[in-house]
Amino acid sequence: MLSDDEDIPVVDRASLGRVIAVANGKGGVGKTTLAANVAGLAAADGARVLAVDLNGQGNLGLDLGIRGGQADDDGRALAEAIADGRPLAPVRSVRPELDMCVGGTSVGHLPALLSNRYQFQAERQALMLAVSLQQVAGDYDLVVIDSPPENPPLQQLALAAARWLVVPVRSDRASIHDGLGGIARQFALVRKKVNPGLELLGVALFASGSSSRAIRREVRHDVEEVLGAGAPMFEAVVRHSEAVARQSRSRGLLVHELEQAAAANPAFWKLRTGEASRDQVVTATSASVAEDMAALTREMFGRMAELEGDGQ
C-alpha cells in the first residue's frame, strides 16, 4: 500500500469521511468524557460506532466501564496493529452497536516504537493509524478517536486519521490559550503534510457553570483570539456537575445511562429506614447533563451533514 514515494502510505480518504478526533493540547477539558458520550449516544441511536482510545492512560475504558475487565489489554492490540499497519481489531460490542479499541500503557509507548521503526519517515509515522483504521472503517457509520493532551505524536496520529476535529474547552482563559494553541499547531501541521481535508467541526464548551450568553461570548472571544475570527463553536454547552462526573466514571456508565439508572433510585422511605443507602442514589442532574450531551451530539451530526453537503 505504498505510493510512488515509498515512504508515504496511500490513504483512501473517502473511507475515513466519518472519523472525528476529539483533541485539545490540555488535559481535563472533557475530551474523554465527550468522546465516550458522543460515541455511546450515536450507538444508542442505532449507528454502528467505533471508539478508539489513543491514550496512554486508557480513561475511555473507564468511562465505558471496561477498564480492568477481560477486554482490557492495556492498549496492546491497538498499539501493535498501528505499528504494523494491520487492521484495527476492536473489542466488540462494549455496548450494542459500539465497538472499542482499548488504550493504555502500550499506546503510550507507541510514538517511540514508530519512530524507531520508521526513522526519518515523519509522514508515514503520522499516517499509521489512518492505515489501520481505513481497513475497518467500512464497518462503521461513525468513528470517534479520543486523544491525549501534550503528546504531539499521538495527536498527529489521531488528526491524520480524521476528517473532523472537535475541541472541547473549559471556560477559563488560560486553558483556552494553552490548550487551543497546542492543538491548533498540530492541526495546521497535519493538514499541510498529510491530511488537507481535515476540518475543525467545532469547539465545545465543557463543564461550564453557566451557559449564559455572556460566558459564551467571552469564550468565543478567547477562542477567536487563538483560532481566528469565525472559528466554529457549538451552541450546546455541557453543564458542570461534579456528581454526574463522579458517578458516571465510578460506575462506568455514560451520562444517558446514568439518567436511566436514576429511574431505579431507591424510594425515599427505604433510605429513611436504612434498607437502602445514599450511595445507591443517582443524581437527578444526570438528566440535564444527558440532555446537553444529546444536544451536542445532534449538533455535531447536523454540522457534519451540512459541511459534507457543501463539498458536493
Interface residues with Mg ion (CB under 5 A)? 31-32, 59
Residue 244's binding partner among Mg ion, ligand ADP, none (Cβ under 5 to 8 angstroms by kind) is ligand ADP
Q: How far is the CB of 235 from Mg ion (least distance, A)?
A: 24
User: In this chain, which stretch among 129-137, 194-202, 235-243, 269-277 interacts with ligand ADP, using CB under 6 A?
Assistant: 235-243
The number of angstroms, rounded, from the C-alpha of 251 to the middle of its chain's C-alpha atoms is: 19
User: Contact between 68 and ligand ADP (CB under 6 A)?
Assistant: no
User: Contact between 296 and ligand ADP (CB under 6 A)?
Assistant: no
Q: How far apart are CA 265 and CA 288, in angstroms?
A: 17
Assign 3-state DSSP to the chain and report helix, strand, coil percentages, each to 5.
50, 15, 35
Dmax over CA atoms of the chain, in Å, equals 75
Q: How many other CB atoms are there within 10 angstroms of residue 285's CB atom?
A: 19
Q: How many other CB atoms are there within 10 angstroms of residue 288's CB atom?
A: 16
240 φ/ψ angles, rounded to the nearest 5 degrees: -80, 130
Say how many residues make up the chain.
312
By beta-carbon distance, which residue lies closest to Mg ion? 32
Instruction: Output DSSP code: residue 149.
Output: S
Residue 240's binding partner among Mg ion, ligand ADP, none (Cβ under 5 to 8 angstroms by kind) is ligand ADP
Q: How far apart are CA 144 and CA 159, in angstroms?
A: 11
Instruction: Output DSSP code: residue 12.
Output: -
Reference 207, options 170, 246, 255; nearest CA is 170
Lay out the site mask for ligand ADP across 256-295 (x = CB under 6 A, - = otherwise).
---------------------------------x------
Residue 241's binding partner among ligand ADP, Mg ion, none (Cβ under 5 to 8 angstroms by kind) is ligand ADP
Encode 129-167: b = buried (16+ Cβ within 10 Å), e = exposed: bbbbbbbbbeebebbbbbbbbebbbbbbbbbbbbbbbbb
User: Contact between 32 and ligand ADP (CB under 6 A)?
Assistant: yes
Interface residue with ligand ADP, options 11, 23, 33, 162 (CB under 6 A): 33
User: In this chain, which stretch among 25-33, 92-100, 109-117, 266-274 interacts with ligand ADP, using CB under 6 A?
Assistant: 25-33
Residue 29's binding partner among ligand ADP, Mg ion, none (Cβ under 5 to 8 angstroms by kind) is ligand ADP
Chain residues 48-67 in contact with ligand ADP, contact rule CB under 6 A: 59
User: In this chain, which stretch among 95-103, 118-126, 240-248, 264-272 interacts with ligand ADP, using CB under 6 A?
Assistant: 240-248
Q: How far is the CB of 39 from Mg ion (least distance, A)?
A: 13
Find where cell 477486554 sits: 71
Instruction: Write out the residues near ligand ADP by the rule CB under 6 A.
Output: 27-33, 59, 207, 238, 240-242, 244-245, 249, 289
